[in-house]
Structure 1
């Protein structure tokens, strides 16, 4: 099977989606560890809309909710495997890594997991 090169728009959209999953997961972990509460899918979608608006980008409400759900899945997976102290550190590293000048191996690992979740979700047939 011959695979065509992705257009710049497709790559940008994919990158935006993966970055949103990462940023939302970082926010979810921060709120969880600071307030012992999880953001709802709707709250995550609204937060994503605010971030997208600032960068003059848009995604449909359904797409934002889907990405919010994926970020929730990742954040709960991280929280379920790390101690509170390690989770706080991971959330901090993820938040710091939102700055492109900040390098963090742990954040890169979580970014790869965001990419895997996004690709896995995109490969699944719609329900």
Structure 2
């Protein structure tokens, strides 16, 4: 039986690769959380909070993403959420925020959520995250 000497790290097992769809879903979820927090509490989540939240979600699925990539997704979600809040009436923003939060449940289907997912994919491509 082979053992690892005390004080040394065991060989790292390769982490599953994060694909485009996972990044898109993460961007969508972060945007939904940001909008929800904004409309419920009147303040925006920081980029650091968004990157930490992304890391927590990924760890639940035993996935990892480099901090720089988590920060990029956090920044993109902030830009997207602020754009939505700035172009929608409060009532429409509340509706979109609620619909996006509901769509975090995979059993919930919504045309608005599909449109927001498409926009997330576009934002990722524009920022160099390819399929």
Which TM bucket (shorter chain)? 0.7 to 0.9
Segments ≥4 residues shifted beyond 3 Å = none
Report 1:1-127 matches (<5 A). 13-122=19-128
Please give the root-mean-square deviation of Cα atoms over the aligned residues, in Å. 1.3
Name the structure where helix makes up a greater proportion of residues: 1
For 2:19, what is the secondary structure of its paired residue? helix
Shift in Å, 1:81:
0.9
> For structure 2, which runs of at least 5 residues remain unmatched after alignment?
1-15
Aligned-partner Cα distance in 2 for 1:115–1:59: 18
Aligned-partner Cα distance in 1 for 2:53–2:33: 9
Shift in Å, 1:98:
1.1
* TM-score for both structures, normalised by structure 2: 0.83
Higher Rg: 2
